[in-house]
């Protein structure tokens, strides 16, 4: 078999593998006029306490994309201030969920700065891993999440097939992540409030979901 045919065969095999293994295709979805991402074709959209939530599943894992309806007014003049906002957001999520950090780092995707993190919590007595990417863009925070079990953590699929599919409006740069209005509040404090409110809006529904799935499996 020639190298070119081998490559075609490999690509076809991977496509079949992902489609069969996870039961559904990934399709592009416009989260906003600034951001689009590939998500499983069967998904739902809800509005919870002013948060727009997109939810989908890969077997027992939950894929979540969340953004508030309103923009946030955090003073961010440079990369360091942006990191403070992300740290506050992350700490708010961790505090509200009683989670424990596994890893956390500042990363770039398509020229923009994200906070990539992983932490563990217990939901209804079961251990869960939260893989999360936080993005602040044009005063709107986005959270891209996968919640999974430690035994079946599809982090490579999440990162390679979903996170790496993120596309941004062509004219956007890291400058669109800054806000130099000095009347606005400190980055960390605003981030912490947003992170706590995010978890407050999310975690009740997640608990109900896992309880109902457990009952279905036990029955």
* CATH assignment at residue 196: 3.40.1000.10
pLDDT, residue 217, reads: 52
pLDDT, residue 15, reads: 43
Q: What are phi and psi of 69, to 5 degrees?
A: -70, -30
| Structural domain includes residue 194 | yes
- Residues 6 or more apart in contact with residue 186 via CB below 8 angstroms: 74, 75, 84
| Structural domain includes residue 60 | yes
| Structural domain includes residue 114 | yes
Nearest to 191, CA basis, from 72, 106, 31: 72
| Structural domain includes residue 39 | yes
pLDDT, residue 210, reads: 46
Supply the range of the domain harboring residue 45: 25-218
pLDDT, residue 204, reads: 55
| Structural domain includes residue 85 | yes
| Structural domain includes residue 192 | yes
Domain count, the chain: 1
- Residues 6 or more apart in contact with residue 4 via CB below 8 angstroms: none
| Structural domain includes residue 43 | yes
Nearest to 64, CA basis, from 75, 77, 54: 54
pLDDT, residue 29, reads: 97
pLDDT, residue 206, reads: 56
Q: How far is CA 79 from CA 132, 139, 168, in A?
A: 20, 14, 19
pLDDT tens per residue, the chain (219 residues)?
Answer: 455 444 444 343 344 444 444 556 899 999 999 999 999 999 999 887 888 999 998 888 899 999 998 899 889 999 999 999 999 999 999 998 899 999 999 999 999 999 999 999 987 788 999 999 999 999 999 999 999 988 887 899 999 999 999 999 999 999 999 998 877 678 998 899 888 888 877 765 554 444 344 444 555
């Amino acid at each position: 078999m020639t190298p070119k045919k081998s490559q075609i065969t490999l690509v076809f095999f991977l496509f079949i593998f992902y489609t069969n293994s996870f039961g559904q295709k990934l399709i592009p979805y416009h989260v906003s006029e600034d951001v689009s991402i590939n998500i499983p074709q069967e998904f739902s959209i809800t509005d919870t306490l002013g948060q727009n939530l997109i939810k989908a599943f890969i077997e027992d894992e939950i894929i979540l994309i969340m953004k508030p309806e309103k923009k946030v007014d955090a003073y961010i003049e440079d990369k360091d201030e942006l990191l403070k906002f992300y740290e506050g957001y992350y700490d708010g999520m961790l505090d509200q969920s009683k989670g424990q950090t596994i890893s956390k780092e500042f990363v770039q995707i398509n020229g923009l700065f994200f906070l990539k993190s992983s932490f563990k919590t217990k939901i209804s007595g079961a251990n869960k891993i939260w893989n999360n990417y936080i993005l602040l863009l044009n005063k709107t925070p986005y959270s891209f999440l996968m919640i999974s079990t430690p035994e079946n953590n599809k982090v490579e699929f999440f990162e390679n097939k979903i996170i790496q599919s993120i596309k941004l409006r062509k004219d956007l740069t890291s400058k669109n992540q800054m806000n130099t209005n000095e009347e606005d509040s400190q980055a960390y404090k605003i981030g912490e409030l947003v992170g706590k409110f995010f978890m407050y809006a999310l975690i009740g529904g997640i608990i109900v979901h896992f309880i109902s799935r457990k009952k279905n499996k036990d029955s």
